[in-house]
């Protein structure tokens, strides 16, 4: 039963994949509200899609969940969480390779905001090797991504990169 706890799920979502959607949907069953936080201007890597398009993909894919909100942010994750009065940061964990970075981020965020808990959900086995960058790579070479992303994203990628197989 959903509790009255708000969780934020931060990410770049460039673009959103079915792996992200799986974690958000599972989170929405466990928390009263999940606020998906879109990093508007990532510092690490320039995104393929602008914030408007990334937000639109998320909104469309998540419209069926009454307790899921989408918002953008350009501040510390903990500041975003506090803005929504959220005490949980929800993250998906795939292979071991995610662990080191996520472990460090969780510790840093705990130092900045001890009242906020980072909660990890294990990726579903079928999504364990799915990433936004992998999707972009497949699409760039004209490969099929229909099973990996919501339909609107697959359509847009086909426009950008006409299929070759
Ligand atoms: P970042 O901007 O941190 O690289 P992403 O937008 O790629 O983040 O992903 C946001 C969150 O979703 C992260 O917690 C990441 O671990 C999780 N995630 C990404 N892909 C998957 C997947 N296939 N299954 C489960 N969780 C995932």
Higher pLDDT, residue 21 or 3: 21
Higher pLDDT, residue 149 or 162: 149
Q: How far, in Å, is the centroid of ligand 1 from the Cα of 98? A: 9
Does residue 2 carry a pLDDT above 60? no
What is the Cα–Cα distance from 27 to 119, expressed in whole angstroms?
10
Q: How far, in Å, is the centroid of ligand 1 from the Cα of 11? A: 6
Q: How far, in Å, is the centroid of ligand 1 from the Cα of 8? A: 13
Does residue 103 carry a pLDDT above 80? yes
What pLDDT does 119 receive? 98
Whole-number average pLDDT of the chain? 95
What pLDDT does 121 receive? 97
DSSP the chain: ---S-EEEEEE--TT--HHHHHHHHHHHHHSSEEEEEEESS-SSS--SS-HHHHHHHHHHHHTT-TTEEEEEE-S-HHHHHHHTT--EEEEEE-SHHHHHHHHHHHHHHHHH-TT-EEEEEEPPGGGTT--HHHHHHHHHTT---TTTS-HHHHHHHHHHS----
Which atom of ligand 1 is found nearest the CA of 10? 10
Cβ–ligand 1 contact at 30 (below 6 Å): no
Cβ–ligand 1 contact at 62 (below 6 Å): no
What is the Cα–Cα distance from 116 to 138, expressed in whole angstroms?
36
What is the Cα–Cα distance from 62 to 112, expressed in whole angstroms?
30
Q: How far, in Å, is the centroid of ligand 1 from the Cα of 131? A: 7
**Sign of torsion, CA 125 131 137 143?**
positive
User: Which residue, among 25, 32, 34, 28, has the nearest Cα to 7 in the 3D structure?
Assistant: 34
End-to-end CA distance of the chain: 44
Each residue of 24-57: pLDDT tens digit?
999 999 999 999 999 998 887 899 999 999 999 9
Which atom of ligand 1 is found nearest the CA of 9? 11
Q: How confident is the model at residue 96 (pLDDT cuts 50, 70, 90)?
A: confident
- What the block records as the tokens of 3 is 């509790």
Does residue 162 carry a pLDDT above 90? no
Cβ–ligand 1 contact at 31 (below 6 Å): no
């Amino acid at each position: 039963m959903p509790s009255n706890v708000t969780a934020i799920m931060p990410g770049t979502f460039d673009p959103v994949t079915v792996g992200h959607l799986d974690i958000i949907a599972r989170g929405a069953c466990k928390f009263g509200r999940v606020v998906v936080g879109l990093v508007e201007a990532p510092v690490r890597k320039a995104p393929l899609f602008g914030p408007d398009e990334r937000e639109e993909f998320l909104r469309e894919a998540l419209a069926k969940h009454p307790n899921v909100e989408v918002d953008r942010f350009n501040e510390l994750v903990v500041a975003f969480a506090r803005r929504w009065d959220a005490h949980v940061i929800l993250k998906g964990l795939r292979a071991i390779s995610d662990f080191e970075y996520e472990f460090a981020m969780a510790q840093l965020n705990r130092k900045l905001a001890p009242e906020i808990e980072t909660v990890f959900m294990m990726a579903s086995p079928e999504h364990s090797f799915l990433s936004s960058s992998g999707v972009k790579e497949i699409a760039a070479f004209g490969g099929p991504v229909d099973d990996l992303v919501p339909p609107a994203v697959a359509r847009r990628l086909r426009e950008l990169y006409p299929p070759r197989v």
